[in-house]
Amino acid sequence: MQIKQTLLKGCSLALLCAGLTVPALSQAQTLRLGGNFAADHSSSRAMEIFKTELEKADVDLDAALFPAMQLGGAQENVDQVRSGAVFGTWIGIAYVSRIVPELEAVSLPFAFDSREQAFQLIDGPVGDKFNELLAKKGFTALGYMELGFRNITNNQRPITSADDLEGLKIRLQPNETHLSTFRALGANPVSMDVKELYGALQQGVLDGQENPYSIIHTKRFNEVQKYLSDSKHFYDFIVILANKDSFDSLNAEKQEAVRAALAKAVSWQREQAATEDEQAREALIDAGMEFTPISAETRAELRKRSASIKESLREKLGAEIIDQVEAELAK
């Protein structure tokens, strides 16, 4: 044993004398990503799959995930990524629309008939266009997960007709198209970060809110809301964003590993979200919420009352992106 230690010391000394150094063990680079979704939401669990797949890739990269607003609210997460304070986030695209207004083009009210139609749109030329626009603002878009169809809850009355929205003070995301739509429907919309929402509903500051069933369930809004609808007025995406400079600083092998790991995570989440959407609705009903399906006639009236939003968007964003979205939806 003493002989082996002496030989090792001698070899190291010889290398140093020759002007060489003994290579140190490499340490994995850690990518920090924050999110506002609950830890048990399908998007947060998908990011755990990303973390596992990235470690399997064996490219000296790992991920540190901070779901459930551990690093702040949704808007703070976007700002942290843009500044480079963290590598990335997974976020509802409405929170990025103040930076890239063109993202509102997929917020046309009552535009989507199915999640499959929504995926086809975002995986095609429209998604490519969004990615280019995000890159100009310092982001690299790495995939789109499902947030889902958004549905109204409130504490005043069941939504059985278009008139039932009249005067309801409803929280929405900071997306001007969303807000304008609810004004057109006669409601009184309020923009508010999701981190403040439960308390506002609990205190009666707001009458209601709108979210996919999965968010209503994981955020426990059923504890402070009575009536639930299936309005499906918007379909929403979760975009996975990285700071562009941080992503570009990774070598080609590491970039490919990140993209491949996220592709598996996104694929899993889309399938899981479809299952959990139905499960979440049933769980909300079982928890005591009064569910009222919206009739085809009421939905048609809501679509009619919000028809002006399309032209407003055309003026705001330009005809090109709206026409592109409509052309893709018509396929």
In a domain? residue 10: no
- Give the model confidence (pLDDT) of 26-76 as tens digits: 589 999 999 999 999 999 999 999 999 999 999 999 999 999 999 999 999
In a domain? residue 179: yes
pLDDT at 22: 41
- Give the model confidence (pLDDT) of 121-177 as tens digits: 999 999 999 999 999 999 999 999 999 999 999 999 999 999 999 999 999 999 999
pTM of the model: 0.89
In this structure, how many other beta carbons lie within 10 angstroms of the beta carbon of residue 45? 18
d(CA 198, CA 177): 23
In a domain? residue 287: yes
In a domain? residue 284: yes
In a domain? residue 217: yes
Whole-number mean pLDDT of the chain? 93
Locate 64 and state its tokens.
Answer: 């540190």
d(CA 13, CA 29): 30
Burial of 192 (0-12, 13-18, 19+ CB in 10 A): middle
User: 212 near 236, Cβ under 8 Å?
Assistant: yes
Q: How many domains does the chain have?
A: 1
In a domain? residue 223: yes
* CATH code, domain carrying 217: 3.40.190.170
In a domain? residue 12: no
- Give the model confidence (pLDDT) of 286-315 as tens digits: 999 999 999 999 999 999 999 999 999 999
Residues spanned by the domain of 263: 30-330
Q: How far is CA 217 from CA 46, 211, 280, in A?
A: 18, 10, 6
Burial 66-101 (b: 16+ CB within 10 A, else e): bbbbebbbbbbbbbbbbeeebbbbbbbbbbbbebbb
In a domain? residue 20: no
User: 145 near 278, Cβ under 8 Å?
Assistant: no
Quick one: residue 244, left, alpha or beta (phi over 0 = left, psi -120 to 50 = alpha)? alpha
